Structure 1
Amino acid sequence: MKPKFSTLIVLLLITAAVLLPFAFSPLYIPLMREHSFDLLEALQGDLYKMITGFTALAFVILEMLLTVRKRGRRWKISIPGSMVLWRSLHIFLGVGLIAMILVHTGGQVGDNFNMIFLWIFWGTSLSALMGVVAETGVLESPRKYFGLVPLQLGAVAKVFPTTTKGPLIRGLRLIWLSSHIIFVSLFMVMLAFHIFLAFYFQ
């Protein structure tokens, strides 16, 4: 059930396609305001934002179940399913959450707090997805040794040392997993503040 490298590349391409509207929103939002104002008003309305916002929140809660599953024994909580299953669900739900955020925001980056919140969310999602893609690529590679220079000849090997899969994956994980945890922590704080602001100014 663990996603293969080819599946993860497809998910990465889907994620890139889902993020494209954010880049083009300065072009299409004014067009919608001019030609389809009623649709734009509905997409920015309280009911639409509330429905899509709670749906996105449900995705976040499901994403956090991986943490509960990981630490279930220590916390005396039993959640069925293997870690491989939960990691796979975590990856697919993460891509789904990115799509849900597009639906919730209409592709608008926003200003001030909302803009920072969106950038933190992208950092959270992309740090994990890129890390998993890199790690899976190394695991599935037929190569035994990895280095900056493909052929290790004499003195070149001393300048550009090689490493095996284990140390390389540990090094990758140290980078992407650490940054992902930092982004997740920031995201959760900002999410709580976002929910508070949404209901306070309603």
Structure 2
Amino acid sequence: MKPKFSTLIILTFITALLLLPFAISGNYLPTLREQSFNLYQVFQGEIYKQVTGYVSLAFVLFEMVLTVRKRGRGWLMKITIPGSIIFWRSLHIFIGVGLVAATLIHTIGANGLNFNAIFLWVFFAVTLSALVGVVAETGVLESSRRYYGTPPAKNPEKEGKKRGFGISKGKLIAKMRDFWLPTHIILVAIFFVMLGFHIFIAYYYQ
């Protein structure tokens, strides 16, 4: 079942809390390094980075399950993947929030430098573009309103009313999706290219 608007608001709040450490990491990371240097070394150690990195990568691969489900008939021919599109789309949303948590654990809130900093911001853009788009779309979908603006009269000339100015719910959702979905897809493509470079750099400088 597709998450309701109230559930998506909660997920948005959780995502905001998960992103908060990245905004204040400049304050607590130096303190952690000074007061608990051994723990800080564990977080920066190769084993910790590899384990949490693979966990984050697993979340990314799970996210791609939605694409496989949607294109399964064309790509996988006779192989049938169980579950509806709505189920996989809902799972996609929850796993996306889990990926934010995994990224926080992997980076301990550090924003990174140079390439890694840009890569992290691209990831934030991927997450927020999807979450904001889905929340806005679901909010309109669950609304009792059928028309946004001044609804048109059935017979404006006979009734002496002006023609309506606005947009129907269906067209509004379609226009919203035409904006946020391509944006999200482009950001995802950029993210995957940068992910490949990130993995290469991580192993190259071991």
TM-score by length of 2: 0.91
Q: What SS is found at the alignment partner of 2:64? A: helix
1:52-91 equivalences in 2 (<5 Å): 52-75=52-75, 76=77, 77-91=79-93
The number of residue pairs the alignment matches comes to 196
Structure 1 equivalent of residue 19 of structure 2: 19
Larger Rg: 2
Distance in 2 of aligned mates of 1:122 and 1:78:
33
Matched, 1:138 2:137: no
Q: CA deviation at 1:80?
A: 1.0
The one of 133, 145, 164 aligned to 2:168: 164
The one of 120, 123, 134 aligned to 1:121: 123
Structure 1 equivalent of residue 158 of structure 2: none
Matched, 1:191 2:202: no
Q: Structure 2, unaligned stretches of length 5 or more? A: 154-160
Structure 1 residue runs of 4 or more that deviate by more than 3 Å after TM superposition? none
Distance in 1 of aligned mates of 2:142 and 2:101:
28
RMSD, aligned CA: 1.6
Distance in 1 of aligned mates of 2:50 and 2:80:
32
Distance in 2 of aligned mates of 1:78 and 1:105:
37
Q: Which amino acid letter does the alignment assign opposite residue 188 of structure 2?
A: V
Matched, 1:173 2:177: yes
Distance in 2 of aligned mates of 1:27 and 1:146:
45
Distance in 2 of aligned mates of 1:11 and 1:115:
24
Q: Structure 1, unaligned stretches of length 5 or more? A: none
Q: What SS is found at the alignment partner of 1:163? A: strand
Distance in 2 of aligned mates of 1:78 and 1:181:
25
Q: Percent identity?
A: 60
TM-score by length of 1: 0.93
Distance in 2 of aligned mates of 1:141 and 1:173:
17
Structure 2 equivalent of residue 109 of structure 1: 111
Q: CA deviation at 1:74?
A: 1.2
Distance in 1 of aligned mates of 2:54 and 2:169:
41
Q: CA deviation at 1:179?
A: 0.5
Structure 2 equivalent of residue 48 of structure 1: 48
